[in-house]
Amino acid sequence: MTQLQRLGVNDSTAARMIGVTKAEFLAMVRTGTMPQPRPLGPGILRWRVADLDDALRPPRFEAEEFEP
């Protein structure tokens, strides 16, 4: 059987994915450290796994930003 790749997760799963408590994760969302969720329907919020991954990656710099 093929395992499906998750595209979106709830707050509890997102917190576990980055190794923090749900309360810590939601505090990071409030301060902008972590991305906002996407509404899927009434009362249904999900965080895109790609957005969580991007939030944990170091920023990319263009070569022109490092002029000598």
Whether 46 is covered by a domain: the verdict is yes
Whether 65 is covered by a domain: the verdict is no
Q: What is the pLDDT of residue 50?
A: 96
Number of structural domains (the chain) is: 1
Residue span of the structural domain in which 38 resides: 8-56
What DSSP designation does 65 have? G
Whether 1 is covered by a domain: the verdict is no
Q: What is the pLDDT of residue 6?
A: 86
Around Cβ 42, how many Cβ atoms within 10 Å?
5
Whether 68 is covered by a domain: the verdict is no
Whether 62 is covered by a domain: the verdict is no
Separation of CA 17 from chain center: 9
Each residue's pLDDT expressed in tens, for the chain with a length of 68 residues: 778 788 999 999 999 999 999 999 999 999 999 999 999 999 999 999 999 999 998 877 665 655 55
